[in-house]
Amino acid sequence: MNKYNETFGVDISKDVFDVHGSKEGHNQYKNDESGFKKLLRELPDNSLVVMEATGYYHYRLAPFLYKNGVIVSVVNPLSIKRFIQMKLAKVKTDKSDAKAICEYALINEVPLYNSLTDTQSECLQLFRLLDTYLKQRTATKNKMHGEEVLGLPS
């Protein structure tokens, strides 16, 4: 038995996010502060909002909802992908993905989200940036070595 009044699945993209409620059905919002506030106003009390960990796109919505007292879950996208594959779904749209995330949350126990502090968020961004720079450095060194091995100036 679901202990929430309603469960919402969210599929986030760059400009918009699709929301499917277990009772209310589908809706779409802008992926910005105004869209976040509109969703917050429309959420019933004691709702669960479930979304995929989608790179950068969920990093603004999840903390916003969490800080405003909404119960949030961020799920591994591979779990959702496998769930959709098990259902043999042939249609793949943002709307259908939001519905699948909602169905996944109704059937499975999803982990509850805890927002990072501002300091933790900043550290995470810095570590990701450092990782990017290290990968670029390695790629550049490998490229230089490859050119050197050719023995001919390019």
Query: Does the predicted TM-score (pTM) go above 0.75?
Result: yes
Q: Which of 94, 46, 35, 102 is nearest to 70 (CA)?
A: 46
Strands of the sheet containing 6-12, edge to edge, are: 25-30, 16-21, 6-12, 47-52, 71-75
pLDDT in tens, the chain (154 residues): 468 889 999 999 889 999 999 988 899 999 999 999 999 999 999 999 999 988 778 888 999 999 999 999 999 989 988 988 888 777 788 888 899 999 999 999 999 988 778 888 889 889 989 999 999 999 999 998 888 888 776 5
**Start-to-end Cα distance in the chain:** 68
